Chains A and B, each alone.
Chain A
């Protein structure tokens, strides 16, 4: 069959159009695949471990498993270095050495970072009117709850410990520290898990890790995202549930530390009363202000950790006022299982347990 020149031209045109259309289709198809592949290529890996006397869980997201593994090892090193610097329980640490060797009214030179941590902790001590103390160690080691002791110490011993935990005797000028009383023991560990989150974040920024959620005991660092730009969903431990049982979820972008303090972590019972590990520095006894859990969410890990302790000691009313004054987000749980949150949390916190009631 022979086509006329006109017909041939027309057919030519139509087929050319089809080819262009098809080529365009293939191009779009490949473009979509490439974009999807990029998302698909984000690898996730969870890592379990321990450091600073607590469980550590890391969930890391990056473009390769090798990068995740490298970041996992890097975080472990970071935690080990930090523990060897600030833990009162590690005998070779800067803090332990200081606690052992300081002379009353003498000048001790601190490392840059320890001086900075201590200045921040003293600020929170001041803001919270003593509800948080950076030198609670003589009291907590007298009780020994974290070491498994189950006996209430006698009042005389508690009273003498109270003298040793008076933070007004601490003076920091630049990197110089002066302690004005004997038998004092600094304990950065009171906000150590939050400090750890801050240090981990600093180091993660130097890697190609896309996103990470790192739990160091009760402090959880949310960093970056999963490659999808979406928020993280951080589960909050049910203070009256088994470990890992969450009672609510906080939706947050990857720029915060979520710290929770509660009476459920370490405690013993005696005479029907619960003796937990969060002490009221003004009484020398475990804080007893009607709360069972406090969560503080803010960018600064040290502040989030220290303030969760401070607010737990202060109780609902004072603690909530303090949280609002500092502009941090907070979740308070009272003994009668009522949940109180800061205004911004009202659409960020999702209660997931029927045992609890969210007060609006």
Chain B
């Protein structure tokens, strides 16, 4: 009888350990899961976050050049989120680099408007196979 009791105790203990470890792993996986599917827009020092799944048009007021003609309300860049992709629809910057950038949607992709100091980044669970 004594032996039997001891054996069951050990079995219970191991079973509990297995359950605890499984729960722990599941918890850690959950904890590490990415927030995901977001667009981070930084204008100057201010950062705003938008959902990548919600279509919208965002007017941005970036830094302006003295000789630059922005619309009267100070809008320098218009950013569009559409079908999970982000692109710069229009901008009053002289180089137009941001407007000429391809639409972005993969994790870590960016559109930068250098003259207006506007930075757009994608935080997504669509892995990017390119690292730069």
> Residues of A at under 8 Å CB distance from B?
8, 12, 15, 19, 22-23, 26, 29-30, 33, 37, 40-41, 44, 46, 48-50, 54-55, 57, 59, 148, 213, 215, 220, 222, 232-235, 241-246, 249, 266
Contact = CB atoms under 8 A, between A and B. Distances in A.
A43 B98 CA distance: 28
Contacts of A22: 14
A41 B109 CA distance: 22
A213 B110 CA distance: 14
Secondary structure of the B contact surface, majority rule: mixed
Contacts of A232: 131-132
A152 B131 CA distance: 38
B31 to A, nearest CB: 10
A344 B32 CA distance: 39
Nearest to A18: B11
B112 A242 contact: no
A241 B17 CA distance: 57
A55 B3 contact: no
7 contacts: A12-B3, A22-B14, A26-B17, A26-B21, A37-B28, A40-B28, A49-B119
A272 B14 CA distance: 79
B114 A46 contact: no
Given A8-B3, A48-B42, A48-B121, A30 B130 contact: no
A41 B29 CA distance: 10
B41 to A, nearest CB: 10
A48 B28 CA distance: 29
Interface in B78-99: 94-95, 97-98
Interface of B: 3, 7, 10-11, 14, 17-18, 21, 25, 28, 32, 42, 94-95, 97-98, 100-102, 104, 108-112, 114, 117, 119-121, 129-132
A227 to B, nearest CB: 13
A359 to B, nearest CB: 23
A233 B102 contact: no
Given A234-B132, A242-B102, 19 more contacts: A12-B3, A22-B14, A23-B14, A26-B14, A26-B17, A41-B32, A46-B121, A49-B119, A55-B97, A57-B112, A59-B108, A213-B131, A213-B132, A234-B130, A235-B130, A241-B102, A243-B98, A244-B102, A249-B129
A193 to B, nearest CB: 13
